Amino acid sequence: MMRVLALVPGGIGDQLLFFPTLESLKAKYPQATIDVVVEPRSVGAYRLTTRVDKVWEFDFKDRNSLADWGNLLGNVREQEYAAVMSLGKSWAVGFFLWLTGIPKRIAFANGSNFWLTDPVPLKTEQYAAEMYHDLLRGFGINTPCPPLKIQVPQGDLEWAEAEQQRLGIRESGYILLHGGSSELAVKKGIAKIYPAEQWAVVLQQVRERVNLPIVVLQGPEDSEFVSKLQTLMAVKVTAPSDLGKTAAMIAAANLLLCTDSAPMHLAVAVGTALVALFGPTDPKKLLPPVAKYKFVRSETGKITDIAPQRIVDCILGT
């Protein structure tokens, strides 16, 4: 039985975008054991796939000592993997893969490919899920990238049904809004929060034209945004306790309004229509070219500079 390890640094969105790669790898090698190494903040994503056997935690973003890297290396070497791949793009990634002693080492090509057995060309201009999927060329897999899909646990689907009943939206349907941003994005100076005052302008106009309840999705870092919006207008609030319940609420929504964030990728994974706001990031790299996945991109690179009317027009298709 082939054992494969994948190093997948990044947040929840990066993990979800990696799921099609796992899908194709498992389709080619159904008996393979696939393990992943991810940051602690991203472990929850793997509740939504059955393609991974074990999840290792390692904080790639932390100031790790040589001892930390040594412990990871020791644990990996004990497993006797046949192949390893990584989303990392630096020469140091290749060097670490070489140190593992794993026979087949796959990563994106860079200035120094000596450490890799199968460097893969990096094509950053495409949808990120397709870019990650290119790594499978190191296994000789050249099939098209499948759509992003997840498997929401039955218990989470049942929780979402009960939550919709509690909110009084079980029969009516609803528009779901996620306006938050991760702490890491804030620390990096990446503004992904569209102000509550501007969202209120958007929602008031939409409410006049569309007879659907508006529900705000509140994550652990969104309390300030949600409280501010509630002072501006009456909205319902749901606060799922994990990613599976969040995905279930998104799956049942008629439309998701959001910024470039993990809920956006969840909407794609469950097939819910969305309108996403983007600042400096190219939407074509994070959204597949499907008509029901719409976006509004800031002309200045600052998400706060998007005029509410542009969002309203995008939602209403005017």
Per the confidence metrics, is the pTM higher than 0.85?
A: yes
Place of tokens 């991109």: 297
Give the fold, CATH level 3, of 3-139.
Answer: Rossmann fold (3.40.50)
pLDDT at 111: 66
pLDDT at 60: 84
pLDDT at 52: 97
Helix axes 262-270, 243-252, angle to 10 degrees: 60
d(CA 101, CA 41): 28
pLDDT at 3: 96
The encoded tokens of residue 125 equal: 């201009």
Contacts of 83 (CB under 8 A, 6+ apart): 2, 3, 4, 5, 102, 103, 104, 105, 106, 138, 139
End-to-end Cα distance, the chain: 55
Q: Which CATH superfamily is domain 154-316 in?
A: Glycogen Phosphorylase B; (3.40.50.2000)
CB 135 within 8 A of CB 121: no
pLDDT at 187: 54
For the chain, where do the domains classified as CATH 3.40.50.2000 start and end? Answer: 3-139, 154-316
Contacts of 7 (CB under 8 A, 6+ apart): 36, 37, 84, 85, 86, 87, 88, 93, 97
Positions of the chain with pLDDT under 50: 182, 184
The encoded tokens of residue 113 equal: 């490919």
